Amino acid sequence: MPCIFDNIDLQLLPILRETLKVSYRADFCVGYFNLRGWRRIDDLIEQYVSSENACCRLLIGMQSLPSHEVHAAFSLGSGDGRIDNSSIVRFKKRMAAEFRQQLTIGAPTNQDEAGLRRLSHQLKTQKLIIKLFLRHSLHAKLYLVHRHDPNTPTVGFLGSSNFTLPGLAKQGELNVDILDHDACNKLQKWFSDRWQDYGCVDISQELAEIIDQSWARDELISPYYIYLKIAYHLSHEAIAGLLFFFTSRGSRTNY
């Protein structure tokens, strides 16, 4: 019988960590990924060798961002989901902007800063590879952990938990573990088919750059730039008011 992880009687995060301790590779598919939440397991991913067969592959399906244009572009194609490379680059940048917005929410902490730097490092060294699935909406939540174990070489967790702290340990969810060899092999094929799909694009480099340009960067930001940013925000309403005044005045004059 499978174990049920509902984050009420049994949390998913502790058992996921225990399973990752003896792993050499992992494949995750989630609908939402929190950049600051990665530090909950990054120490276990650090042990990976960093190659396509010894890393963590993270596939992000449905994002809560304005991606309707992306899906529409695919549906207007030849039927095989193909669009031109320039469109893919444009959509990658647009979706990466949503991850940039994540880092503007909440107060930064030392733990978050250190965790984001480790995330950037793992993206650059390909211990973690992140792709976006753009062909269609994908709400699946699947965690596959591969281990050097003759009895259970692959352990799966299938359910409703996204890769966020609430999804893994707090809010009510419903997940089950998958230990059956045949079931795990079928789930692995399902993941691999989507990972290799043309509508699946790598955004690892873009995410590393976002982190390196944020408040979690290694180098210190010049106090002068901080002064300019504060001055801009303090004067923003006054500037907007002046623009509105002169614009409305010009409209009356033309009339």
Query: In whole angstroms, what is the distance from residue 105 CA to residue 93 CA?
Result: 20
The residue ranking higher by pLDDT, 255 or 132, is: 132
Highest mean pLDDT (candidates 62-71, 78-87, 232-241)? 232-241
242 has pLDDT over 80: no
Among the ranges given (5-9, 115-119, 240-244, 247-251), the one the predictor scored with the smallest mean pLDDT: 247-251
Q: What are the extents of the domains in the chain?
A: 4-219, 220-255
Count of residues in the chain? 255
Q: What's the half-sphere exposure (Cβ side, CA atoms, 13 Å) at 236?
A: 6
CATH number for 4-219: choose from 3.30.870.10, 3.40.50.720, 2.40.30.10, 2.40.50.220.
3.30.870.10
pTM, two decimal places: 0.80
239 pLDDT tier (thresholds 50, 70, 90)? confident
State the DSSP string of 14-50.
Answer: HHHHHHHTTEEEEEEEES-B-GGGGGGTHHHHTTS--
With a CB cutoff of 8 Å and minimum separation 6, the contacts of 236 are none
CA-based nearest residue to 159, from 1, 17, 34, 6: 6
Q: CA angle, 227 as apex, 225 and 229 as ends, to 5°?
A: 70
Residue 242, phi then psi, degrees to nearest 5: -65, -40
- At residue 57, the 3 state secondary structure works out as strand
Among the ranges given (6-20, 52-66, 136-150), the one the predictor scored with the smallest mean pLDDT: 52-66
| Section 136-159 average pLDDT | 93
pLDDT recorded at residue 69: 53
Average pLDDT, the chain: 84
pLDDT recorded at residue 120: 95
pLDDT recorded at residue 64: 46
Q: What is the pLDDT of residues 83-134, one digit of tens each?
A: 667 767 777 777 778 888 888 887 788 898 999 999 999 999 999 999 998 8
Query: In whole angstroms, what is the distance from residue 3 CA to residue 254 CA?
Result: 73
76 has pLDDT over 50: no
32 has pLDDT over 80: yes
As a whole number of Å, the end-to-end CA separation of the chain is 78
63 pLDDT tier (thresholds 50, 70, 90)? low
245 has pLDDT over 80: no
